[in-house]
Amino acid sequence: RSSLGKTTDLVGRRIIVTAGPTVEPIDPVRFISNHSSGLQGYAIASALAAKGADVRLVSGPVSLPTPPSVQRINVRTAEDMKAACLEQLPADAAICVAAVSDWRPESVSNRKMKKSADGPPTLILRENPDILATLSQMKERPTLVIGFAAETDDLRKHAEQKRRRKGCDWLLANDVSKHRFGGHRNQVLFLTEMGTEDWPEMDKSALAERLSEQVVAFFQKQG
Ligand code: CTP
Ligand code: CA
């Protein structure tokens, strides 16, 4: 281990990380989106790159610098994020940290919508593609697929259901009613097919380090 905390444990491993929100346009001046600072995803990308991984950070709009030795691909919509992820395949692992908008406006007005005496417009929404489920369930899938889950209630139950429904290997579930968005701390349940671990509250960078150590251990066992 060098003085910079760098190792070569993940050299030769390509890892896709999604991070940040997606934004879904309504018209040229408006969009719908989710809360997401991108901090957790960027911390994970940074920790993996420090272990030598070839990190492809597919990022929605955030105001964070690109971590050293990380290849960043900027996207805006969920559909663009999905396409950018598929372009990075084949990959050894994929870690979906992005807060993807579940829905997008069915049609995008190419002119600014104006207020009118008829009252506010009605938005018709379509469901966006599920990037984590796509990466988990495709034929030439990354060996290790990891998701996050943001829940406000029944954390364990919803997280276990979500891991099975999506088909991902690991899921990190956090209670978003406890931790304000944009904060530097996080607390998760770590779910695998082996069971569930309750990780203590820690800095997002410490969580990133702990997760990347688990990734290293996974690939060491794989050989
Ligand atoms: N995710 C994704 N693509 C989507 C929606 C979610 O890749 N269209 C990923 C997120 O990056 C996260 C995981 O799926 O890793 C869980 O996201 P979450 O919003 O908690 O789950 P959903 O399946 O969207 O369920 P819901 O929002 O209804 O709880
Ligand atoms: Ca969602």
Q: Is 128 a catalytic residue?
A: no
Q: Rounded to 5 degrees, what are φ and ψ at 209?
A: -65, -45
Tell how far the Cα of 74 is from the centroid of ligand 2, in angstroms. 20
CA dist 199 and 54 (Å) reads: 27
Question: Whole-prediction pTM value?
Answer: 0.96
ipTM for the complex shown: 0.98
Class of domain 14-103+125-222: alpha beta
CA dist 196 and 198 (Å) reads: 7
- Exposure class string for 127-156: b at 16+ Cβ within 10 A, else e: ebebbbbbbbeeeebbebbbbbbbbeeebe
Is residue 17 in contact with ligand 1, taking CB distance under 6 Å?
A: no
What does the pLDDT look like over 147-171, one tens digit per residue? Answer: 999 888 899 999 999 999 999 999 9
What does the pLDDT look like over 100-130, one tens digit per residue? Answer: 999 999 999 999 999 999 999 999 999 999 9
Is residue 216 in contact with ligand 1, taking CB distance under 6 Å?
A: no
Tell how far the Cα of 132 is from the centroid of ligand 1, in angstroms. 7
- Cα 149 versus chain centre, distance: 9
CA dist 93 and 80 (Å) reads: 19
Domain ranges within the chain, ordered by starting residue: 14-103+125-222
CA dist 114 and 120 (Å) reads: 9
